[in-house]
Amino acid sequence: MSHLSPLLKQSSRVCADHGQGSWLYDTDGKAYLDFTSGIGVTSTGHCHPTVVAAAQEQVGKMIHAQYTTVTHRPMLELTDRLVEKMPAGLDSIALSNSGSEAVETAMRLARHATRRANIIVFNGGFHGRTMGAASLTTSGTKVRTGFHPMMAGVVVAPYPHSWRYGWSEEQTTEFCLRELDHILKTQTAPDDTAAILIEPVQGEYGYYPANTAFMQGLAERCKQHGILLICDEIQAGYGRTGKFWSHQHFDVQPDILITAKGLASGFPLSAIAASAELMAKGAPGSQGGTYGANAVSCAAALATLKVIEQENLIENAAARGTELWDQLHALQSDYPIISTIRGKGLMLGMEIGKGPNQPMPDVALRLTEAAEAQGLLLLRCGIDGQIVRWLPPLVVTAEEITDAVGRFAKALAEVQP
């Protein structure tokens, strides 16, 4: 009997032993193409030599230099390098360990800075599992059921899920912005609204990109009412969608940007960025914790950025993403249980079912199990687990994309002969 708590349920049966690039090997030596990337974390692949070397060097030098006691060079260098990647004006960085922590940091800063309490979030958003972050999350009831009451001050607005509504993108966007205006008149007046928090490409709910008209509509309302626009780039950022940040697809500028996952290639690290002026409105010492900005994580993050640049990983994500998109669409013509494919870059979701109202989560589960047997690791997402999601590392090669789709085709043939 395993002593590992079932609270931490695994989606596969694999006991992982080691990893290299896009490949993960189990304790029996079986190789898997890892198209989960540790839920979008191993951006530079498993154990990239540059990241490994940087981490090893830092481990021998200093591991924990507690960042509310002292500063340290890897952290200071990282904040400098991160600011170069941020939208103009977001020149101050606060680091923490996990995505949820960073979301909470952003929320608390927004409340301090505006002296307003409420946060508008979007239906289907996922922002984490801690109580504050879970209160902002509506991607499914799993992170909320049985945990109520949630934090007060959260208002949920519709996200442009045009496929689910069965409307055009334009109609859906108009509806969503109209509803948002209605919410600002009925549920949370602008003067009570600290922030609008959004995933520019929704992750856990089902790999739904927003669109330019919608994102710009949010930005306009934020500007008009002094509300902060917060982009949660934890899953979709750091190159995953073929641009450094996913909001860059929509030509908007957030006031606070949240990042984690791909930031340090697997070492725990997260960050928020805002202008120094905005950061100064938070109370000094009001945030942070014991472990934030670990020196090894920061060294790994610096190496990650170096690899992203030296190996042109953003361009690779865009090019490989197009190949994956095309190859998955080619499968769709043979297998009608693939009802739609969405997403951007190396963040693609494949709905299994007969249209939006007849999801087939049991088939999606059998597909990911059959893919696992074929040596391809995939995750599912969506309310019912009806979506097969594709998120290979940014270092994935064209050959590996074709190899993975070939393995998936075998799984499809097995599940839907």
- In the complex, which residues of this chain contact ligand PMP (CB under 6 A)? 39, 98-100, 103, 126-128, 199, 203-204, 232, 234-235, 260
Minimum separation from the CB atom of position 282 to ligand PMP (A): 20
Residue (46 or 127) nearer to ligand PMP, CB: 127
CB within 8 A of 10, min separation 6: which ones?
none
Task: Give just the sign of the alpha carbon dihedral 184, 188, 194, 197.
Answer: negative
CB of 237 to ligand PMP, least distance (A): 9
Cα Rg of the chain, angstroms: 21
Residue 121 or 365: the one with the smaller Cβ distance to ligand PMP is: 121
Residue nearest to ligand PMP according to CB distances in the complex = 99
Residue with tokens 């994935």: 396
Taking each helix axis from N to C terminus, what angle separates 295-310 and 49-61, rounded to the nearest 10 degrees?
150
Q: How far is the CB of 94 from ligand PMP (least distance, A)?
A: 15
The two structure tokens encoding residue 378? 């995939």
Rounded-to-integer distance, Cα 195 and Cα 223, Å: 11
Closest CA to 214 of 179, 188, 242, 189: 179
The distance of closest approach from Cβ of residue 104 to ligand PMP in the complex, given in angstroms and rounded to an integer, is 9
Task: Considering the complex, state which of residue 38 and residue 74 has its C-beta at the smaller distance from ligand PMP.
Answer: 38
Residue 235 or residue 287: which is nearer to ligand PMP going by CB?
Answer: 235
- The smaller minimum CB distance to ligand PMP, of residues 48 and 127, is found at 127
Q: How do 270-274 and 256-259 pair as beta strands?
A: antiparallel
Pick the closer one to ligand PMP by CB: 350 or 381. 381
Q: How far is residue 213's CA from residue 173's CA, in Å, rounded to a whole number? A: 7
Q: How far is the CB of 336 from ligand PMP (least distance, A)?
A: 30
CA distance 345 to 358: 27
CB of 194 to ligand PMP, least distance (A): 18
